[in-house]
Amino acid sequence: MLISNRVKNMPPHFFSTLVKKVEAAKAAGMDIINLGRGNPDQPTPPHIITALQQAAERPDTHGYSPFKGIPQFRQAVADFYKREYNVEVDPETEVAIIGGSKIGLVELPLAMMNEGELLLLPDPGYPDYLSGVSLANIRYETMPLLEQNGFLPNFNSLSDETRRQAKMMYLNYPNNPTSAVATIPFFNETVSFAKENAIFVLHDMAYGGIGFDGQKPVSFLQAEGAKEVGIEMYTLSKTYNMAGWRVAFAVGNAEMIEAINQIQNYLFISIFPAIQHAAIAALAEDQTCVKELTALYEGRRNMLIDECRRIGWAVDAPKASFFAWLPVPEGYTSETFADILLEKAGVVVAPGHGFGKHGEGYVRVGLLASEERIKEAVGRIEKLGIFSNSCV
C-alpha cells in the first residue's frame, strides 16, 4: 500500500493511544468510568433536530450548497455575535462556514502560510493544531501556558527573532486542556502585540458557550481592533451538543475569511443545507438549552471538585469548558498516574503530556459523566491510598 510522505510524517495521534488502553481494559472486563474523552455525552436539543428534519424534507436542500454556505446561516452567525458579544460582523465578508472547527484549524495554515514559515502555538494545547503544521510543512514554536500566569501566554518572553519570523498565532479560551479563561485586557494586549509584529491571530473558541459561576467567556473580537489582526473560530459541537453534525464557523478579519473560503472552494462544497438550517435554529432560537447544559456541567464540576478535596487532592475549580486540569501527585508523571487510575481503579483521565511539554504534571478530567459516576470515580481513586485527607 502506497502512502504519501505527507501522511507518513503526520504526528502520532495522542488520543488513539489512550483509546487503545481503554479498549484493552474493557476487553479485560473492567467497569470503566471514562473521564478522559472530549465528546459531549448529552443529546442535541429537540428543536434543533426538528429543524433538521423539516429542512431535509424540502427538495431545495438536496442539491449542492453554495460554496460559502447559505446566506441565512451567515446572517444568523452575524446576528449571534451581535446579540451575544455586541460585535458587528459583515455576513458577506467576515463569516466563513466550516465543516467542524477541526477542519478550519488544520486548513488555515494551508490557506495562509508558505512552507517554512512560523506559527506560534500554545503549550499545552489541542494536539490537532500540529496536524496543520505537518500538512502545510511549516515551522512552529510554542508559547508556554503556566499556572502562575493564569495559563495565558507571556508575549514578553518571546525572543526578538521569534517575533520577527512568526506569521500567525493560535490561542484557545476557554482553554483545552487547562480550562483557563481569558479577559478583555489580555485580548487587548494580544491585538497590540499582533499589530506590532505583523502576526495574524486565530482564536479557537470551541468552549465559548460554557462558563461557570455566572461568568460568560469573552470573545476575542470584543477587543479593540481585533478584526484588524485576526479571526475567531466557533463550533456548535459543545454549546449545542452537535459534535457529530460537523458544523462551525469563523468570523473576523475579511482577508483571513477569504483565505478560508478560497481553500474550501477546492476542498469542499460546504455543508448539507439541512444541517445549516438546523444550525440557524441553534443560534437564533431560544437559548434555554445552553443555560441548562451549562448548569449541568457546573453541577458536575462542583461534585468533582468537592470530592477531590474531600480525599485530599488539592485542586482548583475550572471557570469554564467541560474540563478540569488537575495536578498529578508527587512521585508520578502524568502518564504513570493516568495508567494507575485506569489499571487499578478503572478511571480514565487524559495525561497532560499529550497536550505538550508544559502539560506534564497534570491530567485532564472531563465533566462528561453523571454526578453519580464522577463521585464513584473519585471514590475509587480514594481507595488507592494515593491522597491523604488534608484538603477538607
Burial (CB count <10 Å: 0-12, 13-18, 19+), residue 28: exposed
Residue 323 in grid coordinates: 474540563
DSSP assignment of 237-257 equals HHHTT-GGG--EEEEE-HHHH
- Burial code (b: 16+ CB inside 10 Å, e: under 16) for 114-126 equals eeebbbbbbbbbb
pTM of the model: 0.95
Is 48 in contact with 185 (CB distance < 8 Å)?
no
Q: Extract the C-alpha cell encoding 128.
A: 490537532
- Strands across the sheet with 95-98, in order? 95-98, 248-252, 230-235, 200-204, 166-172, 118-123, 139-144
Residue 166: per-residue pLDDT: 98
Q: What is the pLDDT of residues 270-295, one digit of tens each?
A: 899 999 999 999 999 999 999 999 99
114-120: list long-range contacts, CB under 8 Å, 24+ apart: 114/138, 117/165, 117/167, 118/162, 118/165, 118/166, 118/167, 119/166, 119/167, 119/168, 119/169, 119/170, 120/158, 120/162, 120/166, 120/168, 120/169, 120/170, 120/199
What is the pLDDT at residue 192?
98
What integer pLDDT is reported at residue 370 of this predicted model?
97
Tell me the C-alpha distance between 101 and 115, whole Å: 23
Residue that is written with C-alpha cell 459531549 in the block: 40
Query: Does 46-284 carry CATH code 3.40.50.300?
Result: no
How many Å apart are CA 212 and CA 224, to the nearest integer?
25
Cell 470551541 sits on residue: 206
* The pLDDT value given to residue 37: 87
The predicted pLDDT at position 6 comes to 85
Low-confidence stretches of the chain (pLDDT < 50) are 390-392
Give the pLDDT confidence score for residue 323 in this predicted structure: 98
What letter would DSSP give residue 58? S
Q: Which amino acid is at 77?
A: V
* pLDDT at residue 392, as a whole number: 45
Predicted pLDDT of residue 22: 83
Q: Where are the domains of the chain?
A: 5-44+288-383, 46-284
Q: Give me the amino acid identity at 213.
A: D
CB atoms within 10 A of CB 138: 20
5-44+288-383 and 46-284: identical CATH topology: no
Cβ-contact 325, 150 below 8 angstroms:
no
User: Is it true that domain 5-44+288-383 has CATH number 3.90.1150.10?
Assistant: yes
Q: Is 24 helix (H, G, I), strand (E, B) or coil?
A: helix
